[in-house]
Amino acid sequence: MSEVTLVHAGGGVVWRPGGDGAVEVLLVHRPRYDDWSLPKGKRDPGETDEACALREVEEETGLRCTLGHELAPTEYVDGRGRPKVVRYWAMTVAEPTPWEPGDEVDELAWLDVDEAERRLTYGRDVGVLDEFARWAGTRPA
């Protein structure tokens, strides 16, 4: 009997103050799945969850970020039937780096929290974003 390996991943809710003072968050569009999600990805061997989250956010968005408050993780079964845990952090932009649309992510969108929740494809991401909004003070705790 083969043992199922738990997949570890990390990601972020990248945020900034919007023009009207509202908080904006960054979503990514993945053409392979035709979905909108929070930037995230699988951990490399020997990598910490924190380093994974920062690396994946930079790879997908072109933004070097700073880790902030850790949000609740999500747990689900991935497309290959493996259990997966994704740890998320609130992140702020430390330095923009060059980004161009690619095979993995072809579009970025800065949206206010309510619009981002409507655009997200997966309910588990909506839960992470709701927790972020409560932490950021844009919603009652």
- Domain range summary for the chain, segments of one domain joined by +: 7-136
- Identify the CATH homologous superfamily for domain 7-136: Nucleoside Triphosphate Pyrophosphohydrolase (3.90.79.10)
Nearest to 126 by CA among 39, 37, 26: 37
Percent of the chain with pLDDT over 70: 98
pLDDT tens digits, one per residue of 74-110: 999 998 999 999 999 999 999 887 788 989 999 999 9
Q: CB count, 10 Å around CB of 83?
A: 12
Look at residue 66 in the predicted model and tell me its pLDDT: 98
pLDDT at 19: 77
pLDDT at 1: 45
Residue 24 in this model has a pLDDT that exceeds 70: yes
Rounded to two decimals, what is the model's pTM? 0.92
